[in-house]
A and B are shown apart, each in its own frame.
Chain A
Amino acid sequence: MRPFLYERPTSVSAAIAMASHLEARHVAPTQANTQFIAGGTNLADYMKLGVAQPERLLDLNELAEPALRQIETNDDTIRFGALVRMGEAADNNEVRRRCPLLADSLKFAASGQLRNMASLAGNILQRTRCEYFRETSWPCNKREPGSGCAAMEGVNRQHAVLGVSDACIATYHGDFAQALIALDAVVEVEGRRGPRKIPFAGLHRLPGDTPNIETDLAADEVIVAIEVPLGAWSRRSRYLKIRDRESYAFALASAAVALEMDGNTVRQARIALGGVATVPWRARAAEDALRGNALDDKTAAAAAEAAFADARPREHNAFKIPLGKRTLVRALLETRDMKV
């Protein structure tokens, strides 16, 4: 690992001030010299591997603002402070009672040790696990813009089939983000430009020609909270994660589903798909296909077809298309049958 400076700002404004260098305006946070660290389970790993090379780390764990560590629940929202640990949120009874999807997306992620360490803000910003990205001797457009993409013709079983570009097919692996995008969460950010609220769907960027730019954040912007609106759909919600082993593995395919039903008819479905796309993936076409219809095997299958209509497989990941579809069908039917 390369040597780096390590500092611990004690307020959000101090953190922003320390991060506000000239370059912060021009480069993505993951390429900046100064980077934030929270649980470190993603960033420290990539620093050891030489993938991330910040010269200066700002540790957010000393920030004094209490709201950063709180979960506030009320009738129409849940607000998570950015430094809340995954484990705390997963084990929070109110969160589970009001919206099982949120709790399960965290509970089925990583391992107990990681969930104790990792923050929610760090979780949604976690970077891909693409094997070629993780190892600096391979060409990788995300790590080294313009160098090529080793995964495209390589071992790409884990890679995405939705939202891919000719430059990058890396999967966004996080689970919590699928819940957040399905539930229309809002990310609260503070930075040199002042505070702003980003709809979750606007946080991550498709790889396009610039897979190195992963989010809409500036390098001096700190996520302070994530707010999730609640509604008629929240309790009838579910996260189904399919993986190679029963725990401690990323999703091969997952589905975040929340349903607003009128008897057996779908008033509004909220659907996101994990493990199959380059960014947190809202399946609007599937939602549209279900709206106003009875939810049964047939309509669920039609929704799944719609969700994967634009899928682009590579050599080893074509199975993700049928798997993703069936995951969604199963998740929809299981959510329909939930007793709430």
Chain B
Amino acid sequence: MNQAAPVPKENQGQPVVRIDGRLKVTGQASYPADIATANVAYGALATSSIARGKVSKLHTDDARAVPGVLDIITYGDMDQTDTPKFGNTGASSIAPLHDKTIFHDGQIIALVVAETFEAAEEASMLIRADYEDEPPSASFDSKGVKVEPAAGKSPMLQEDVKAGDFDAAYASAAVKIDQKYSTPTQHHNPIELFSTTAMWQGDQLTVHEPSQNVTGWKIELARQLKVDPANVRIVSPYVGGAFGSKGPMTARTAIVAVAARRVGRPVRCVVSRMQAFNTQTYRAETRHRIRIGASKDGRITAFGHEGWEVTSRPDPYVVGGTSATGRMYNYGSVLTHVSVVHADRNTPGYMRSPPETPYVYALENAMDEMAVALGMDPVEFRRINEPEREPIGGKPFSSRSLVKCYDQAAEAFGWSKRNAVVGSMREGDWLVGMGCATAIYPTASAPCAARVRLTADGQVRVQCGSHEIGTGVRTVAGQMAAERLGIGMDKISVEMGDSALPPAPVSGGSISTASVCSAVLKACDAVRAKLFAAAVAGDGPLAGSGNAKLEMEQEKIVASGGKSAKLSDVFKAMQIGAIEEYAEFAPKGSTPEALKKLYAGQAEFHGGDQDKDSVKYAFGAEFVEVRVNSYTREIRVPRVVGAFAAGRIMNTRTARSQLMGGMIWGIGQALHEATEIDRRNARYVNRDLQDYLVPVNADIKQVDVILVPEVDLDVNPAGVKGLGELGNVGTAAAVASAVYHATGKRIRDLPIRIDDLIS
């Protein structure tokens, strides 16, 4: 079962190898900071050492004296530009060099540009600031934070979902729990560092920067620099890990562009890992209160979910995962409320399954507690609360294969061998625990454009301004074209990651495969239509097959009657060398402006809980075994099994890889990851990979992925549900439940560490 290329089942595509896999593992893929440029100068950031106050004086003389320093961009130097905006494309409204106010620790106070990276870095460390500092508020419970209802503050959360009379149902429930859970601050820490390389040729600006949204950034950067978007190009052919961190553009991009204009040379700024903790986005800490009431036989009658999330002072960043948790089971009544807590922190941002990871963690940990309270098997408890329709709006699910996922994962995991008695399973000095949890992720898609060219010799070029962030979208887009046009993968090339290409939405929200493949499908179908018309025309090679059903296979057009014509012959008949089609896809329910907005860099998402006719989600069930040492209480995870159903699987290899990576991340979230904040100063203290722990190879043993067949043509023309963010939802709750099963200790605050189990 645990093989890299699972054999495709029904409605699952071939495990085609990644078309850029070899380039990546042999170091030949050029990431944005690798792009060779003549005469490049290097930038290094200087950042604040306080979290709140004002810069009263900046001392740059020592820095300027460092040999090789060309320029220092600081206060005043960005005045000719517009300030950054918080929103879909902009990470934050904090405009570091426009305003001497310090909103968070590690805020940019200058960019040094020098002949060498070493000189730039040395000089940046010599920049000193005098501050008028004020006591900052670090996080929840800190003095001075501002707490406000989140609903309506961000498009992520329009309103707090609710249904029925929660208070009455909860009050009268026979069995109930009321518990608090929390998740810590987390930083994406992609291995590829953040970087910007900006170069001007006359008034044309090209920026090489790892990005999940080249079109959006082009528009936003042009706005800040007050130039025509047509003169701005963002290039990001490969991204070495993004997870949301490279979705919103940060203030640095425009600063580096201004620097490049001033020194009249390309400028490259690679941000240190430490500085990335403060100058990029992150997943803020969350808190939850969950109340569940049920009848004695385990039917849930009341579900209450309150959430609190930290954000910066100026920006109302909200994830608000109650939309998913509120629709997960057949609750009877639902009451939710989300609050944002403004503190002196950098603005958080999207991080792989932004709402679901923390919110579903809380829900699923609570579901396990509830199963214990009911004396019920946790799988059975979920099964009997499986809804016919989602409880908030009463809409049907476009498809929902959760029970199948539980069945298949439980079987593969050997759940029936679990002895439910806490602490009863043991192997030598190790306590054994088993737990499970549900994964859910909304299925959305957004408008997307693509261009497909087929030449007479059977070469295909697919162009789409989407982004290969490691998910395999470049490969599956190629696969879509290969399948539709009957061409082998070796003759397909796919270009992505460039704002000069047909625009695609931000690569976030697990929409890319659905959106890109739907656009590629449409372009391919237009190519097919031209070819088919020519083939069956009076003088075409398939003349007379007008009523036959036509397909493309192996560089031929094949008619249902059995007649076929070589592609090259059709081109010959048409007397052309290539067919190129440009297609725009817009999901069902798109507004009339949806496509126009695509070109303006704004993605209109459809699906999830937004559609009128149905709600659209992908589901999975995850099972985890843990071992806890009976003396020293360290926790190990020997086994994880996840079964997932996500509509059409384009490629079982890349799908498995996404889901497996997600579950591994989930283990890290359960046991390792946390950014530590010094509460006195609102400063992060573990800003490197030595102290910010993620799992290493030795921590990950067996991880099995089961792809459960599912057909859902309601979601989009490609029938694809996104799964890039599905895998890491629920994992941490499954680990927490397994730890409880092993030790009898219910840990509600992540990460779960020895500290929690030892005393």
A residues whose Cβ falls under 8 Å from a Cβ of B = 1-3, 50, 129, 131-132, 134-137, 150, 153-155, 157-158, 242-249, 252-253, 319, 322-323, 326-327, 329-330
B676 in complex: contacting residue of A3, A134, A137, A155, CB < 8 Å? A155
Chain A min CB distance to B663 (Å): 16
Q: Are A150 and B678 neighbours in the complex by a CB distance under 8 Å?
A: yes
Residues of A with C-beta under 8 A to B613: none
Give the distance in Å from the alpha carbon of A285 to the alpha carbon of B49 in the complex: 44
Whether A245 contacts B672 in the complex (CB less than 8 A), given A129-B690, A153-B680, A322-B758, comes out as: yes
**Interface CB pairs A-B, < 8 A, 20:** A1-B118, A134-B688, A137-B49, A150-B678, A153-B680, A155-B685, A155-B686, A242-B754, A243-B634, A244-B634, A244-B754, A245-B696, A246-B698, A247-B699, A249-B693, A319-B758, A322-B758, A323-B754, A330-B429, A330-B631
Whether A2 contacts B633 in the complex (CB less than 8 A), given A132-B685, A246-B698, comes out as: no
Q: Which chain A residue lies CB-closest to B691?
A: A131
Q: Are A3 and B122 neighbours in the complex by a CB distance under 8 Å?
A: yes
Q: Does B636 make an interface contact (CB < 8 A)?
A: yes
Residues of B with C-beta under 8 A to A131: 676, 685-686, 691
Residues of B with C-beta under 8 A to A323: 632-633, 754, 758
Residues of A with C-beta under 8 A to B632: 242, 253, 323, 326-327, 330
Known pairs A242-B754, A322-B759, A327-B631 / 19 extra A-B pairs, C-beta < 8 Å: A2-B125, A3-B122, A50-B125, A134-B688, A135-B685, A136-B125, A154-B678, A155-B676, A155-B685, A157-B676, A158-B691, A242-B634, A244-B672, A244-B753, A245-B695, A319-B755, A323-B633, A326-B632, A326-B633
Q: Does B468 make an interface contact (CB < 8 A)?
A: no
Give the distance in Å from the alpha carbon of A247 to the alpha carbon of B696 in the complex: 7
Q: Are B680 and A2 neighbours in the complex by a CB distance under 8 Å?
A: no
Residues of A with C-beta under 8 A to B125: 2, 50, 136
Q: Which chain A residue lies CB-closest to B755?
A: A319
Chain A min CB distance to B735 (Å): 14
Q: Does B547 make an interface contact (CB < 8 A)?
A: no
Q: Is the interface of A mostly helix, strand, loop or mixed?
A: loop
Give the distance in Å from the alpha carbon of A138 to the alpha carbon of B720 in the complex: 50
B631 in complex: contacting residue of A2, A134, A243, A329, CB < 8 Å? A329
| Max chain A Cβ within 10 angstroms of own Cβ: one of B631, B636, B690, B753 | B631
Residues of A with C-beta under 8 A to B28: none
Residues of A with C-beta under 8 A to B26: none
Q: Which chain A residue lies CB-closest to B688?
A: A134
Residues of A with C-beta under 8 A to B676: 131, 155, 157
Q: Which chain B residue lies CB-closest to A333?
A: B631
Q: Which chain A residue lies CB-closest to B690?
A: A129
Give the distance in Å from the alpha carbon of A137 to the alpha carbon of B688 in the complex: 16
Q: Are A129 and B685 neighbours in the complex by a CB distance under 8 Å?
A: no
Residues of B with C-beta under 8 A to A249: 693
Q: Does B368 make an interface contact (CB < 8 A)?
A: no
Residues of B with C-beta under 8 A to A327: 631-632
Chain A min CB distance to B274 (Å): 8
Give the distance in Å from the alpha carbon of A253 to the alpha carbon of B755 in the complex: 12
Q: Does B121 make an interface contact (CB < 8 A)?
A: yes
Q: Does B575 make an interface contact (CB < 8 A)?
A: no
Q: Which chain B residue lies CB-closest to A245?
A: B699
Give the distance in Å from the alpha carbon of A246 to the alpha carbon of B677 in the complex: 24
A155 in complex: contacting residue of B429, B678, B697, B755, CB < 8 Å? B678
Q: Which chain B residue lies CB-closest to A329?
A: B631
Residues of A with C-beta under 8 A to B118: 1, 3
Residues of A with C-beta under 8 A to B755: 157, 319
Whether A246 contacts B699 in the complex (CB less than 8 A), given A153-B680, A154-B685, A330-B631, comes out as: yes
Chain B min CB distance to A327 (Å): 5
Chain A min CB distance to B580 (Å): 48
A1 in complex: contacting residue of B122, B754, B758, CB < 8 Å? B122
Residues of B with C-beta under 8 A to A50: 125
Whether A247 contacts B634 in the complex (CB less than 8 A), given A1-B121, A50-B125, A155-B685, comes out as: no
Residues of B with C-beta under 8 A to A243: 634
Give the distance in Å from the alpha carbon of A137 to the alpha carbon of B634 in the complex: 34
Residues of B with C-beta under 8 A to A326: 631-633, 758
Chain A min CB distance to B677 (Å): 8
Give the distance in Å from the alpha carbon of A134 to the alpha carbon of B685 in the complex: 10
Chain B min CB distance to A334 (Å): 9
Chain B min CB distance to A138 (Å): 8
Within 8 A of A (CB), among B726-759: 753-755, 758-759
Within 8 A of A (CB), among B112-161: 118, 121-122, 125
Give the distance in Å from the alpha carbon of A288 to the alpha carbon of B699 in the complex: 37
Q: Which chain A residue lies CB-closest to B106?
A: A137
| Max chain A Cβ within 10 angstroms of own Cβ: one of B118, B121, B632, B687 | B632
Chain B min CB distance to A136 (Å): 8
Chain A min CB distance to B360 (Å): 24
Chain A min CB distance to B125 (Å): 5
Give the distance in Å from the alpha carbon of A2 to the alpha carbon of B631 in the complex: 47
Q: Which chain B residue lies CB-closest to A255?
A: B632
Q: Are A245 and B693 neighbours in the complex by a CB distance under 8 Å?
A: yes
Give the distance in Å from the alpha carbon of A135 to the alpha carbon of B632 in the complex: 31
Give the distance in Å from the alpha carbon of A329 to the alpha carbon of B671 in the complex: 24
| Max chain B Cβ within 10 angstroms of own Cβ: one of A155, A157, A248, A326 | A155
Chain B min CB distance to A311 (Å): 14
Whether A2 contacts B122 in the complex (CB less than 8 A), given A319-B759, A330-B631, comes out as: yes
Q: Which chain A residue lies CB-closest to B121?
A: A1
Q: Which chain B residue lies CB-closest to A2?
A: B122
Q: Are B696 and A246 neighbours in the complex by a CB distance under 8 Å?
A: yes
Residues of B with C-beta under 8 A to A2: 122, 125
Chain A min CB distance to B326 (Å): 34
Give the distance in Å from the alpha carbon of A245 to the alpha carbon of B696 in the complex: 7
Give the distance in Å from the alpha carbon of A129 to the alpha carbon of B690 in the complex: 9
Give the distance in Å from the alpha carbon of A129 to the alpha carbon of B429 in the complex: 32
Chain B min CB distance to A155 (Å): 4
Give the distance in Å from the alpha carbon of A247 to the alpha carbon of B690 in the complex: 12
Chain A min CB distance to B62 (Å): 11
Whether A248 contacts B696 in the complex (CB less than 8 A), given A326-B758, A329-B631, comes out as: yes
Chain A min CB distance to B388 (Å): 43
Chain A min CB distance to B701 (Å): 9
Residues of B with C-beta under 8 A to A253: 632
| Max chain A Cβ within 10 angstroms of own Cβ: one of B429, B685, B686, B693 | B685
Residues of A with C-beta under 8 A to B274: 135
Q: Are A319 and B693 neighbours in the complex by a CB distance under 8 Å?
A: no
Chain A min CB distance to B753 (Å): 6
Q: Are A319 and B685 neighbours in the complex by a CB distance under 8 Å?
A: no
Chain A min CB distance to B343 (Å): 17
Chain B min CB distance to A170 (Å): 13
Chain A min CB distance to B745 (Å): 13
